[in-house]
């Protein structure tokens, strides 16, 4: 590509997307979400360094749990990158970042709704044990509610700045069932098929 063509393309991109930088509040949200993802990734790495899965109720499934855990670490690190890119003053791959932001928001939001439903069912005595809804589980749920709100703010802000179409947002939102299905259904099925996870 010639220098002239590159300059022309840059000018086209500048004219195509809103170029104002995100507000300070949105930048703070982006930093918080990057730290949130990094923090949860660090916890998962700690699990591996301390052989956390080698003892306890699911010790026989330690290898399978480790595979799932590392897969989730990768997702969390991707979340760090997406949160950072969302608050850059200069847009980078706006459609791709937009898809990933809406996928992150939808995935965490669906997870939160599912967890709230599960908690309600347990507290109402419909199924499960209400004693399992303790302070630790409530704090965990609140942390994911924070993440859902944070990624929602980043997704909306980025969509406005990049003038994303509704179709791009919908494609991203469809990432929720794909990611959750991959972690909760497809990956365990693969691990079971190769003998690392016992049949339910």
On average, the pLDDT of the chain sits at 86
**Neighbour-count burial for 164-187, b at 16+ CB within 10 Å, e otherwise:** beeebbebbbebbeebbeebeeeb
What is residue 15's predicted lDDT score, i.e. its pLDDT? 46
The answer on pLDDT for 13 being more than 50 is no
**pTM assigned to the model:** 0.82
What is residue 2's predicted lDDT score, i.e. its pLDDT? 54
How confident is the model over 114-140, as a mean pLDDT?
A: 85
SS (H, E, C) 15-52: HHCCCCCCCHHHHHHHHHHHHHHHHHHHHHHHHHHCCH
């Amino acid at each position: 590509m010639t220098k002239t063509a590159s300059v022309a393309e840059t000018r086209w991109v500048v004219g195509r997307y809103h170029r104002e930088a995100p507000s300070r509040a949105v930048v703070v949200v982006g930093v918080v979400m990057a730290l949130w993802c990094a923090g949860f990734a660090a916890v998962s790495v700690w699990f591996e360094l301390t052989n956390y899965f080698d003892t306890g109720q699911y010790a026989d499934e330690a290898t399978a749990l480790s595979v799932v855990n590392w897969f989730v670490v990768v997702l969390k690190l991707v979340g760090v990158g997406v949160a950072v890119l969302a608050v850059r003053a200069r847009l980078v791959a706006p459609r791709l970042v937009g898809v990933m932001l809406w996928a992150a928001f939808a995935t965490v939001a669906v997870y939160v709704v599912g967890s709230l439903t599960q908690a309600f069912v347990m507290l109402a005595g419909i199924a499960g044990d209400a004693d399992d809804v303790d302070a630790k589980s409530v704090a965990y749920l609140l942390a994911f509610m924070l993440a859902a709100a944070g990624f929602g703010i980043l997704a909306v802000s980025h969509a406005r700045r990049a003038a994303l179409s509704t179709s791009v947002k919908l494609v991203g939102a469809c990432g929720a069932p794909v990611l959750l299905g991959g972690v909760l259904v497809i990956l365990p099925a693969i691990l079971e098929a190769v003998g690392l996870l016992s049949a339910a």
